[in-house]
């Protein structure tokens, strides 16, 4: 029986498997059908690799475009941020220069200064309270309030200080100082109960304005005829080494006046 009769059909012969026919040396040789199948498989492999390469190239092009767009956005945002910082620094520099000019004008004012001179300086500070960056706005309002109080305009001074005290964007230390100023501007005529309520947050020992707030509390007690309470507060202040020197000196002076 011929061995070739039992060979698988040519299209089923695996690549590289002898077909059973002998070549000139008497050994089986690889079937030509198998070689052709191997060639076809190789062609499909090459096509598949080329397709994968094409897809990879297309994806690369797409993501390169995305990366370039992202880089452009980052560069643009960085440029905008730097531009904004430059503009902000320029505004702050201009505000500091204007504030110093107004301060120099305020320093030369005396009780005998012309009303127009005082009004000019107040107007400078009040304009800054509108135009300047937030930190300078608060300082300008407080300085204008002080000048108005010196001129006897207690209502105007109180209004300016209250604007600072109610501004949540202002530094808490400045807001507390503004509260203290509203009390001091009204200490002779304001409602004592309301003023005491305003002072309450400042009476914590760790508050920056504790000494001045206690002094205002003592003055309110004197105004209401509560001499004993006033003396207790003033004695405490006079011995408080953490209180400002001016507060301690005034406490001793007031104690002498009320029989402390």
In this prediction, residue 144 carries a pLDDT of 95
- Other CB atoms closer than 10 Å to residue 143's CB: what's the count? 22
- Other CB atoms closer than 10 Å to residue 140's CB: what's the count? 26
Contact 209, 202 (CB under 8 A): yes
In this prediction, residue 44 carries a pLDDT of 46
In this prediction, residue 222 carries a pLDDT of 94
Chunked mean pLDDT (size 10), the chain, 260 residues: 44 46 46 47 48 52 55 63 71 78 85 85 91 86 94 94 94 95 95 95 95 96 94 95 93 89
Closest C-alpha to 146, from 202, 102, 211, 190? 102
In this prediction, residue 1 carries a pLDDT of 43
> Nearest 5°: phi and psi at 109?
-75, 140
> Nearest 5°: phi and psi at 133?
-60, 160
Contact 260, 233 (CB under 8 A): no
In this prediction, residue 76 carries a pLDDT of 60
In this prediction, residue 34 carries a pLDDT of 47
The Cα 52–Cα 76 span in angstroms is: 36
> Nearest 5°: phi and psi at 177?
-65, -40
- Which element (helix H / strand E) includes 138? helix 134-150
User: pTM above the 0.95 mark?
Assistant: no
Residue ranges of domains in the chain: 94-186, 199-260
- Enumerate residues 6+ apart whose C-beta is below 8 A from 161: 141, 142, 145, 178, 179, 181, 182, 185
């Amino acid at each position: 029986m011929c061995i070739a009769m039992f060979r698988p059909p040519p299209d089923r012969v695996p690549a590289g498997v002898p077909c059973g026919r002998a070549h000139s040396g008497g050994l089986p040789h690889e079937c030509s059908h198998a070689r052709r199948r191997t060639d076809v498989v190789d062609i499909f492999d090459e096509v598949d690799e080329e397709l994968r390469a094409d897809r990879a190239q297309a994806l690369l092009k797409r993501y390169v475009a995305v990366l370039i767009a992202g880089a452009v956005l980052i560069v643009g945002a960085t440029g905008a941020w730097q531009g904004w910082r430059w503009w902000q620094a320029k505004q702050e520099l201009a505000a500091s220069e204007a504030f110093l000019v107004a301060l120099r004008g305020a320093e030369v004012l005396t009780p005998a200064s012309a009303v127009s001179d005082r009004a000019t300086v107040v107007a400078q500070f009040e304009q800054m309270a509108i135009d300047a960056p937030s930190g300078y706005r608060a300082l300008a309002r407080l300085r204008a309030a002080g000048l108005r109080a010196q001129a006897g305009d207690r209502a105007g001074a109180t209004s300016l200080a209250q604007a600072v005290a109610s501004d949540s964007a202002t530094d808490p230390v400045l807001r507390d100082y503004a509260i203290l100023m509203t009390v001091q501007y009204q200490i002779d005529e304001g409602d004592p109960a309301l003023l005491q309520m305003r002072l309450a947050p400042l009476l914590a020992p760790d508050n920056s304005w504790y000494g001045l707030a206690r002094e205002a509390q003592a003055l309110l007690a004197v105004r209401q005829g509560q001499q004993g309470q006033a003396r207790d507060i003033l004695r405490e202040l006079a011995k408080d080494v953490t209180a400002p020197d001016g507060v301690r000196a005034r406490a001793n002076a007031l104690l002498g006046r009320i029989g402390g």
